[in-house]
Structure 1
């Protein structure tokens, strides 16, 4: 039995090492793609749609960053709330006063079109948008002044139907400072999630999904993909929308513009709920690919190989090689591509983050419920239904 366990963990470690090398190759390919790409001036008018609910950390700073765009075309920002009594409405009014020259509108989305309040609001906001090019992103996203310029430029190629953007998670302090749990999530985004996105892009010859950090598209591609209405029951609406636009014959482009999302000061419960929702959402969206995700946790498998082998010298050699490859991926993607300085600060947490990642991957198969904005939902084939309280 001990020999069998040792053989299994060694095989999984070697598979994980192969994945890490593939992730490095994929990151290099992404960097080379954008270095050799000629910038084509293309600045059509754009409507930015931002559904909001409540007030999140750094949300207002994200709003301000959108108002400060250095973009040659015209743009507007359309905010959507389910009720005008939402606390976010006051923040949007404050934004209007600070940036009177920026076209800002607030839409009250009173219709309830499906389980996903976010997508329900987006459907109603889209009706109010003036322009043919649409950019959707989450309420807490912070962007650079050149965000629109870089995100919209790929649409100069008529084959591009969607542009999405890589992102990093900015851990923000709570009453007791930045928590270890928020550091683990931020580290996971830059060194685990984004390398996975780049690897999927390489293996599949391009993306077949979108990232909620940025969903840019024109109305023609959106219409051919079926619009937003069919997504009102989906949890991973960003993934599903990109998938449908790709299925309609368009390219989904991952641009080089990196944006920031906010990672709150999680406690253990908050970290667990968010990571489990993320894991189960991915499991439901990419069923076959998600099954194989377990082998990507090379570092935990290498540690288990050391234990299973009785701490033989060769197992420590294998662990050292895996650790070198894992750190290389973290630095290449997290620092080299995303420019996330938090990675250097928290690099020592990589083994802990990967152990947690493996735990969430295993536990994601143990159920189909997720917690989202304080409500519990049952997840099936990407669709969500509220779980009734007993």
Structure 2
């Protein structure tokens, strides 16, 4: 095969890939516009208590997250007649407890309980924190919410409607086993790292997350806000092997939430287990949850993305390897070279059009999540952060793909096969690097989760 034929094949492949990525991005944009710009009130919000299923809301707490009072208060004010709240901390001296007690005094009619103490079932501190609440919950439907997210008062009712209602057409008539929510970030600081994180999560991340879940070809869940049935979780163990096909000796393996303590990304693994082991499907409600991004340096942002990619690499390798070719800068280079070879189209003409349209679509996704167009005063700041995110994407990826160690809550872990982890001694070459401006606790607002938006 001569070089001309090879160049032709690669150019055709580049145009096809470019078109496919635009189709996915537009799917995410249009779906977000349709799904999130209208949020009707659920009939169950005002229904008699005995006519709706009970829900146990589990909120694991550790320390003072940004906006903690408002985050937790949004749970107390849910418009739903039948729910309880279980707020768990590992340590009786945790700084979150005074905030919780103040809310319990302010809302005495809400059935809220504090659970102190953890049960060590694995390396994941969140699972260790949650196990006692999981077992003490009075209801089968569980809504697990990170402490750093805030929800609309109608979110619970609308989510229950999706979980117990008839499956949507996209789920091929299979029962919904998990309801999750897209989220948007709100930076409460001018720190550049926080602004970059906000730009990323509200645009490219959200666009791909919504698109992949619309296609619904596989499990794709970030666990800031997940609703599922405990009776379903009790049947899965994270093997991702169909329940009907398991060998007899596999029934002795532990199931339920404790089985997921060996994963850092327990949220994604629980979702994957419900999908693959039980054959259930997921659905997004028409709600989003809000994260307030605390103070974050650029290096904090870099380390967070490195951690995310390294975990994802051991769970969805093929998709992770394809990830850089979905980013706008690499994609624009592919399109420009392909268009020049095939059609003689000048790259200097294609590139500005590409980036202008890409930015326009991202800003439209932002408006869908937040509920209103971006204020004019914020646009320059946002565009600067957005451009910084796009330029950092490839260098971060190249650095992340070479290693296997991640840092979470000041502890180092070695990521193993399928996303399992073990504690790391921290003596590798990665640990000898010094990150100027970084802090020990990098979990200021985002719990570790596998974002398969790029996967």
For the aligned pair, the TM-score class normalised by the smaller chain equals 0.7 to 0.9
8 Å Cα contact 2:28/2:208 also seen in 1:
no
TM-score (norm 2): 0.75
CA distance in 1, matches of 2:113, 2:303: 33
Aligned with 1:287 (options 289, 293, 317): 317
Which residue of structure 1 aligns with residue 71 of structure 2? Answer: 62
Alignment of 1:295-374 (within 5 A): 295-302=325-332, 314-339=346-371, 345=379, 346-374=382-410
Instruction: Summarize deviations over 1:111-162 as a string: whole Å, max 9, x none.
Output: 2111001011212211111112100011111111111111111122361110
CA distance in 2, matches of 1:41, 1:99: 23
CA distance in 1, matches of 2:11, 2:395: 16
The secondary structure found in structure 2 opposite 1:256 is strand
Gaps of 5+ in 1: none
1:388 corresponds to 2:425: yes
CA distance in 1, matches of 2:405, 2:12: 33
8 Å Cα contact 2:183/2:369 also seen in 1:
no
Structure 1 range deviating more: 344-353 or 257-266: 344-353
CA distance in 1, matches of 2:147, 2:71: 7
Aligned with 1:160 (options 167, 176, 182): 176
Q: 1:209 to 1:370 in 2, by over 3 A?
A: same
8 Å Cα contact 1:17/1:298 also seen in 2:
no
Q: 1:167 to 1:36 in 2, by over 3 A?
A: closer
Instruction: Summarize deviations over 1:156-199 as a string: whole Å, max 9, x none.
Output: 236111000010011122xxxx2111011011011111112123
The secondary structure found in structure 2 opposite 1:280 is helix
8 Å Cα contact 1:166/1:338 also seen in 2:
no
1:92 corresponds to 2:100: yes
Aligned with 2:157 (options 149, 152, 159): 149
RMSD of aligned residue pairs (Cα, Å): 3.1
Which residue of structure 1 aligns with residue 284 of structure 2? Answer: 254
CA distance in 1, matches of 2:316, 2:43: 35
CA distance in 2, matches of 1:39, 1:238: 28
The secondary structure found in structure 2 opposite 1:125 is helix
CA distance in 1, matches of 2:11, 2:91: 53
TM-score (norm 1): 0.87
Deviation at 1:26, TM superposition (A): 3.8
The secondary structure found in structure 1 opposite 2:150 is coil
Q: Which has the larger radius of gyration?
A: 2
Structure 1 range deviating more: 240-249 or 319-328: 319-328
8 Å Cα contact 1:109/1:125 also seen in 2:
no
Which residue of structure 1 aligns with residue 230 of structure 2? Answer: 219
Deviation at 1:382, TM superposition (A): 0.6
Gaps of 5+ in 2: 45-51, 167-174, 237-254, 428-455
Which residue of structure 2 aligns with residue 266 of structure 1? Answer: 296
8 Å Cα contact 1:378/1:385 also seen in 2:
yes
Instruction: Summarize deviations over 1:291-338 as a string: whole Å, max 9, x none.
Output: 2111111235536987999xx971122212321331233023221244
1:18 corresponds to 2:20: yes
8 Å Cα contact 2:60/2:129 also seen in 1:
yes
Alignment of 1:108-127 (within 5 A): 108-127=116-135
Q: 1:193 to 1:50 in 2, by over 3 A?
A: same
CA distance in 2, matches of 1:265, 1:34: 28
Q: 1:377 to 1:89 in 2, by over 3 A?
A: same
